[in-house]
């Protein structure tokens, strides 16, 4: 349970740091600057996002496995700390 919380916190921190960068859609003043911005996005899409998507899927698997084990042991369901629940979207 602590491992889930730790991994979820790390993933959420990365998301909170990445979203403002992704939302910055201001047009650049020169073609080279715009091309660099596009290359940075392609780099994010190819290099940085795929491992985070895998982390999210692994968190979902771990969460569901933990819930199943608790249910089979007649124990109460695990409820992550506020804001640490893995959602369907990334």
Which band of pLDDT confidence, cut at 50, 70 and 90, is reported for residue 90?
Answer: very low
Residue 47: pLDDT over 50: yes
* Per-residue confidence (pLDDT) for residue 85, from 0 to 100: 75
* Per-residue confidence (pLDDT) for residue 87, from 0 to 100: 65
Residue 50: pLDDT over 80: yes
Domains of the chain plus CATH, in order, are 1-20+32-90 (1.20.58.60)
Residue 10: pLDDT over 70: yes
- Rounded to whole angstroms, how far apart are CA atoms 87 and 60? 8
Residue 81: pLDDT over 90: no
Residue 41: C-alpha distances to residues 10, 21, 25, 38 (Å): 22, 10, 11, 5
* Per-residue confidence (pLDDT) for residue 42, from 0 to 100: 97
Q: Which one, of 1, 43, 65, lies nearest residue 9 by Cα?
A: 1
């Amino acid at each position: 349970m602590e491992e889930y919380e730790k991994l979820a916190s790390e993933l959420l921190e990365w998301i909170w740091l990445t979203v403002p960068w992704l939302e910055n859609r201001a047009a650049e003043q020169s073609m080279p600057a715009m091309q660099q911005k596009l290359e940075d996005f392609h780099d994010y899409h190819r290099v940085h996002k795929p491992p985070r998507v895998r982390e999210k899927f692994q968190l979902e698997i771990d969460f569901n496995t933990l819930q199943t084990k608790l249910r089979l042991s007649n124990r109460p369901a695990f409820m992550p700390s506020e804001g640490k629940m893995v959602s369907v979207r990334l």
